[in-house]
Amino acid sequence: MNTAPFYFITFDGMVFGRRATGIYEIDCDRMTIEQIARGIVEGQYEDIDRVYEAIPGGTCSDITYDIAEEVFSLVWDQDFGVTSDNLRNWLARHLGDDVLQVTTEREFA
């Protein structure tokens, strides 16, 4: 029995001019927190709402805050830029408005 966690990324945004919600499919070989965070930074997922971790036969937890911290760490420590307003707003929504100020100041320093 596979007990490795798997992840769901939900989105809420515009698709073909209409508001839409849904779930991104993630390849099983890309199901780690680090790979998901890197995918978010690289723009593989847009209009992200939440990220959930499901343990087979167990629980499903909202880990959006943890993912947002990992994304911020990538942006800050590895000098990735925040390339979209959606990502910047998502980080601010889950980590606080101060993150928006810090990332903006660093980009223009």
DSSP line for 57-107: TS-EEE-HHHHHHHHHHHHHHT------HHHHHHHHHHH-HHHHHHHHHHH
103 in any annotated domain? yes
Residue with tokens 């343990």: 55
Residue 55 structural domain: 6-107
Express each pLDDT in 60-92 by its tens digit: 999 999 999 999 888 877 666 666 788 888 898
In a domain, 27, yes or no: yes
**Is 1 among the domain residues?**
no
Count how many domains the chain has.
1
Residue 11 Cα to chain centre, angstroms: 10
User: Would you state the structure tokens that stand for residue 17, as one six-digit string?
Assistant: 């001019």
Q: Whole-model pTM? A: 0.79
pLDDT for 65 equals 96
Flag whether 99 is in a domain.
yes
Lowest mean pLDDT among 8-12, 30-34, 91-95: 30-34
- Least reliable range by pLDDT among 5-9, 15-19, 68-72: 15-19
